[in-house]
């Protein structure tokens, strides 16, 4: 699928929808204007909000039980860059890619850089993988990586992370994300304190390799693949590790990495208050890390999380680094590209709604312990249909008023299948 022909379809479909869109947008703009909100300011903020697409989300993922390919999936890094280019052309909000090493080792950095530039993209972060063994690897990660009881295994895992930094540097990335599968499946299997201390020491060795303009993100997860204990199960452990490492280490919050009913918005507020929130992985969660589309299960929670982010971004932005926003999901049911378009749309809408919260009035209601007023203010923002605002922000940048509709009109998947074949598989999936 060529970008030029997609642009033609975007223009054609936008023209067909323009009159109705203008009506909806005009009405919303008037309503928001009456509340004292500056439309240009909102549009600018929505346009500036960019969400990275991970290289592993472009193909159909599987479960333990099976994998059902959608066809036309990218089989190498250059094709993956091409797919993200299509998404970005449609929504103007996916201008970067997160690389997974070793699934997407950039063997030819200049060519990768050329492809990125041609698609208006850049590399956002590199993600290391010590949760599975690779061909020809000397030591196994079966019993852990950075926390392993044997120094040689820990050393191998540190070297792998260090190699990720090297690959990332060649492509202009400045973020390393570390997520460890390390933990135990049975009581007594692992000495909790020693496993933590070994992890902290390994991460400190790695931190010493980190270039001065890089950030190290430490991601936590309460269970899976280990089900009795994880070495980094929660934000408190990630935070403690960051404190141990230094100012370039930050906590990464993945929406799917919490136990059911965890108050994630409060975690976000805490971490931003401490100046230690560095990144965010979006997905939808019904029970755990189940990779559902962002906003498909708990849109109100997503809005509340953005409420905290927007609140803190106003006065605490100096303490926290620019946040690395990324979708982290593996699509098993839908066309991965459609799923990503839906996810980005949900994220933009949640962000836009959070921008509508009247912070001054909310603060006043909180100070006065006016519970009902505080809740009404949040509901007022949450129940506003901001889709015309998000669509206008996208349209002004040359994107599609309705990305999913336009994706289907342009027959993108059919074109990808024609070009790549029905039986393709993305690396790592
Ligand atoms: Mn994640």
pLDDT digits (tens, 9 = 90+) for 102-133: 999 999 999 999 999 999 999 999 999 999 99
What percent of the chain stands above pLDDT 70?
A: 98
Query: What b/e sequence results for 208-245 when a residue is b if at least 16 CB atoms lie within 10 Å of its CB, and e otherwise?
Result: ebbeeebbbbbbbbbeeebeebbbbbbbebbbbbbeeb
Eight-class DSSP state of 419? H
In the reported structure, the alpha carbon of residue 341 is separated from the centroid of ligand 1 by a whole-number distance in angstroms of 18
In the reported structure, the alpha carbon of residue 17 is separated from the centroid of ligand 1 by a whole-number distance in angstroms of 36
CA distances from 403 to 11, 93, 119, 178, 418 (A): 12, 11, 17, 32, 21
Residue 44's pLDDT is 97
Quickly state the pLDDT bin for 428 (edges 50, 70, 90). low
In the reported structure, the alpha carbon of residue 81 is separated from the centroid of ligand 1 by a whole-number distance in angstroms of 20
In the reported structure, the alpha carbon of residue 33 is separated from the centroid of ligand 1 by a whole-number distance in angstroms of 38
In the reported structure, the alpha carbon of residue 362 is separated from the centroid of ligand 1 by a whole-number distance in angstroms of 32
pLDDT surpassing 70 at residue 151: yes
Residue 423's pLDDT is 86
In the reported structure, the alpha carbon of residue 289 is separated from the centroid of ligand 1 by a whole-number distance in angstroms of 9
In the reported structure, the alpha carbon of residue 24 is separated from the centroid of ligand 1 by a whole-number distance in angstroms of 36
Digit-coded pLDDT (tens) for 204-254: 999 999 999 999 999 999 999 999 999 999 999 999 999 999 999 999 999
Cis check for the bond before 225: say yes or no (omega within 30 of 0).
yes
In the reported structure, the alpha carbon of residue 84 is separated from the centroid of ligand 1 by a whole-number distance in angstroms of 18
In the reported structure, the alpha carbon of residue 52 is separated from the centroid of ligand 1 by a whole-number distance in angstroms of 12
Digit-coded pLDDT (tens) for 342-378: 999 999 999 999 999 999 999 999 999 999 999 999 9
Digit-coded pLDDT (tens) for 59-99: 998 888 888 999 999 999 999 999 999 999 999 999 999 99
In the reported structure, the alpha carbon of residue 281 is separated from the centroid of ligand 1 by a whole-number distance in angstroms of 5
Residue 388's pLDDT is 98
Residue 174's pLDDT is 96
pLDDT surpassing 80 at residue 315: no
Cβ contact 67:331 at 8 Å: no
pLDDT surpassing 80 at residue 399: yes
Provide mean pLDDT across the span 266-290: 95
In the reported structure, the alpha carbon of residue 92 is separated from the centroid of ligand 1 by a whole-number distance in angstroms of 23
In the reported structure, the alpha carbon of residue 239 is separated from the centroid of ligand 1 by a whole-number distance in angstroms of 16
In the reported structure, the alpha carbon of residue 219 is separated from the centroid of ligand 1 by a whole-number distance in angstroms of 7
Digit-coded pLDDT (tens) for 169-189: 999 999 999 999 999 999 999
pLDDT surpassing 80 at residue 387: yes
In the reported structure, the alpha carbon of residue 212 is separated from the centroid of ligand 1 by a whole-number distance in angstroms of 24
Q: Rounded mean pLDDT of the chain?
A: 95
In the reported structure, the alpha carbon of residue 280 is separated from the centroid of ligand 1 by a whole-number distance in angstroms of 8
What percent of the chain stands above pLDDT 90?
A: 91
In the reported structure, the alpha carbon of residue 23 is separated from the centroid of ligand 1 by a whole-number distance in angstroms of 39
Residue 177's pLDDT is 98
CA distances from 250 to 215, 274, 278 (A): 7, 10, 5
Strands laid side by side in the 277-282 sheet: 53-54, 96-100, 122-127, 175-179, 215-219, 249-254, 277-282, 324-327
In the reported structure, the alpha carbon of residue 283 is separated from the centroid of ligand 1 by a whole-number distance in angstroms of 9
In the reported structure, the alpha carbon of residue 128 is separated from the centroid of ligand 1 by a whole-number distance in angstroms of 11
Cα–Cα distance, 391 to 49 (Å, whole number): 14
Residue 316's pLDDT is 67
In the reported structure, the alpha carbon of residue 67 is separated from the centroid of ligand 1 by a whole-number distance in angstroms of 20
CA angle, corner 417, sides to 416 and 421, nearest 5? 125
SS3 405: helix
Cα–Cα distance, 81 to 78 (Å, whole number): 5
Eight-class DSSP state of 57? G
Cα–Cα distance, 109 to 417 (Å, whole number): 27
pTM reported for the whole predicted model: 0.96
Phi and psi at 196, nearest 5°, equal: -65, -45
Digit-coded pLDDT (tens) for 7-66: 999 999 999 999 999 999 999 999 999 999 999 999 999 999 999 999 999 999 888 888
């Amino acid at each position: 699928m060529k970008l030029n022909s997609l642009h033609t379809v975007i223009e054609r479909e936008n023209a067909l929808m323009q009159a109705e869109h203008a009506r909806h947008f005009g009405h919303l703009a008037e309503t928001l204007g009456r509340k004292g909100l500056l439309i240009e300011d909102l549009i600018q903020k929505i346009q500036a909000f960019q969400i990275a697409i991970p290289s592993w989300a472009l193909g159909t993922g599987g479960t333990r039980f099976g994998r059902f390919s959608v066809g036309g999936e990218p089989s190498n890094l250059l094709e993956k860059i091409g797919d993200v280019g299509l998404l970005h052309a449609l929504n103007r909000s996916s201008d970067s890619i997160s690389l997974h090493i070793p699934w997407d080792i950039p063997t030819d950095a200049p060519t990768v850089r050329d492809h990125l530039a041609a698609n208006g993209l850049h590399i956002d972060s590199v993600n290391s993988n010590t949760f599975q063994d690779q061909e020809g690897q000397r030591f196994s990660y079966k019993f852990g990586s950075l926390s392993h009881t044997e120094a040689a295994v820990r050393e191998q895992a540190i070297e792998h992370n260090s190699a990720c930094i090297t690959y990332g540097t060649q492509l202009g990335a400045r973020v390393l994300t570390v997520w460890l599968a390390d933990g135990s499946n049975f009581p007594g299997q692992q000495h909790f304190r020693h496993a933590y201390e070994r992890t902290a020491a390994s991460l400190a060795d790695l931190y010493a390799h980190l270039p001065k303009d890089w950030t190290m993100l430490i991601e936590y997860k309460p269970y899976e693949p280990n089900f009795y204990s994880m070495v980094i199960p929660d934000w408190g452990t990630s935070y403690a590790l960051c404190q141990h490492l230094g100012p370039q280490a930050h906590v990464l919050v993945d929406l799917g990495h919490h136990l059911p009913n965890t108050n994630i918005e409060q975690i976000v507020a805490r971490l931003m208050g401490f100046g230690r929130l560095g990144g965010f992985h979006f997905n939808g969660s019904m029970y755990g890390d189940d990779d559902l589309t962002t906003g498909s299960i708990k849109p109100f929670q997503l809005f509340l999380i953005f409420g905290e982010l927007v609140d803190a971004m106003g006065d605490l932005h100096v303490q926290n680094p620019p946040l690395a926003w990324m979708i982290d999901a593996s699509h098993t049911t839908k066309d991965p590209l459609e799923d990503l378009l839906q996810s980005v749309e949900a994220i933009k809408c949640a962000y836009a709604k959070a921008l509508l919260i009247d912070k001054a009035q909310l603060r006043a209601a909180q100070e006065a312990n006016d519970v009902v007023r505080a809740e009404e203010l949040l509901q007022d923002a949450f129940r506003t249909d901001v889709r015309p605002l998000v669509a206008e922000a996208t349209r002004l940048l040359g994107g599609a008023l309705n990305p999913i509709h336009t994706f289907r009109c342009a027959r993108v998947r059919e074109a990808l299948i024609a070009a790549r074949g029905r039986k393709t598989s993305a690396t790592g999936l």
